[in-house]
Amino acid sequence: MMSRSRTNKDIFVEYYSKDRRIVEFMVSAEKDAKDVLKEFVKIIEEAGVKILELNSSVIEGKTRIFAFVDFSQALVQPVTVLERLRKAGLKANLSTKNYGGYVVDQFGFPVTTAGGTFRVVVFPAELLSRVFNSLQKQLGGPGKSLLFHLGEQYGKIIFEEQVKVLGLDKRSAVTSLLELYSSFGMGVVEIVHADWKKGEFRIHIWDNYESLYEGECDFTRGFLAGLFSGALGRRLSAVETKCRFKGDPYCEFIVS
């Protein structure tokens, strides 16, 4: 059984705390990240308000900080904090849009990973699983084939990009992409058996997003087939032999 040394990772997209006065700050500066963070936290602390969620990154030499801040019990106004941030030499923006305690990031676009290298999109896992299941139900066999084909192409293309952009060797590209599968929140992958010479693999995926709703994991099956096909230079097939939706502890795939 795989290690469970993982914890929830909230991405900076939205925040909800009913009836709270939550605002968003975005600050940036061409300074060292630790200095920008230190100055930002200092000003927030002096204002007596609470940081609920914070994202910090450095892209092309510029530090960017996004933060959802709770002003429910504050004695100062958000605009006052905004002015203090700007006086400290930080480029700062403020959004006070709030839907009864629900706020949505107003400043972060495009959404990227790897220091701005790859643009990504975010979908709610259960809703995506339901969309896939709807295709399976409405289209039957053709729907399952479509999902498999889409997954297969995704696996092949993302493998090619990992090798091309990052310069990784084929095995490292496969391993890193399976780790990325987990990092993206799709599921936690465990390679149970790998025979690279024969091209035979047994994969377990814990909490796979595609198994959150009814139906089989056809897109995931296609992804694994495409990924390993790209690595070995010949087309492989993938079969799902266990599925969490059916009561199994994990989804199991045989690639050969």
Share of the chain above pLDDT 70, in %: 98
Residue type at 49 in one-letter notation: V
How confident is the prediction for the chain on average, in pLDDT?
94
Q: Could you identify the residue written with the tokens 């502890």?
A: 249
Distant-in-sequence, close-in-space partners of 207: CB < 8 Å, separation ≥ 6: 187, 188, 244
Q: What are the extents of the domains in the chain?
A: 14-119, 125-255
pLDDT digits (tens, 9 = 90+) for 47-96: 999 999 999 999 999 999 999 999 999 999 999 999 999 999 999 999 99
Predicted local confidence at residue 213, as pLDDT: 86
Domain spanning 125-255: CATH 3.30.1380.20: yes
What pTM was estimated for this model as a whole? 0.89
pLDDT digits (tens, 9 = 90+) for 192-223: 999 999 999 999 999 999 999 888 899 999 99
CATH of 14-119 given 3.30.70.260, 2.60.40.1180, 3.60.21.10, 1.10.20.10: 3.30.70.260
Q: Could you identify the residue written with the tokens 């972060």?
A: 108
Of 180, 156, 168, the C-alpha closest to 234 is 156
Which pLDDT band, with edges at 50, 70 and 90, does 19 fall under?
Answer: confident
Predicted local confidence at residue 165, as pLDDT: 87
Write 2-9 long-range contacts (CB < 8 A, 24+). Answer: 2/188, 2/190, 2/204, 2/206, 6/182, 6/188, 9/185
Q: Could you identify the residue written with the tokens 């504050």?
A: 74
DSSP one-letter code for 12: B
Share of the chain above pLDDT 90, in %: 89
Predicted local confidence at residue 4, as pLDDT: 59
Q: Could you identify the residue written with the tokens 């308000």?
A: 49
Q: Is the pLDDT of residue 2 over 60?
A: no
